[in-house]
Amino acid sequence: MYRYIALAFALVATNATAQEFTNHTTDEPFEDVSFAIESAILAKGLVIDHVSHTGDMLERTRADVGSDKVLFLGADVYEFCSATVSRQVMEADPLNFNYCPYAIRIYEQPETAGTVTVSHQTYTGTMEPVNELLESIVSDALGLN
């Protein structure tokens, strides 16, 4: 029994993991950046599975939880998947399933008003094609090409 548990931990340790986030900033308005990210995702032929309006939720519930701190002027998370890239990384390691869908986050904080950050997780190992996809979308949206 313990041998199987040790083997499971060893297998988990070898899978790709989200190490950190890659961040890009722009002085474009939040709404314009959100539209550009959405457009860049769709231009790749991908379907947006969900948009989480995290900033709106945090602001809407701020008083309910007894806080007076405004955390974000805007904060959205775009979740999507790519059949091609997902198949590639999951054929390399089926447990890469754990990282799908992929997400791009957009936020603007009061302390840095006028600066919008676009963020995505950076993966290691067999997940490198996902890094390339995420960077491609962000580059297209922000005109970094």
Q: Does pLDDT of 117 surpass 60?
A: yes
Listed by start position, the domains of the chain span 2-142
The overall average pLDDT reported for the chain is 90
pLDDT, position 16: 52
Output the DSSP codes for 30-49.
HHHHHHHHHHHHHHTT-EEE
CB 86: neighbour CB atoms within 10 A?
19
pLDDT average, residue stretch 105-127: 97
pLDDT, position 145: 78
pLDDT average, residue stretch 73-91: 97
Q: State in words which class domain 2-142 has.
A: alpha beta
Q: What is the pTM of this model?
A: 0.85
Q: Does pLDDT of 10 surpass 90?
A: no
What span, in angstroms and rounded, lies between the C-alpha atoms of 45 and 49? 13
pLDDT, position 109: 98
- Indicate the pairing of strand 47-52 with strand 74-81: antiparallel
Question: In the structure, what pLDDT confidence band is assigned to residue 19 with cuts at 50, 70 and 90?
Answer: low
Give the tens place of pLDDT for each residue, 43-59: 999 999 999 999 999 99
The residue assigned the tokens 């603007």 is 108
* Sign of the Cα pseudo-torsion (132, 36, 20, 12, in order): negative
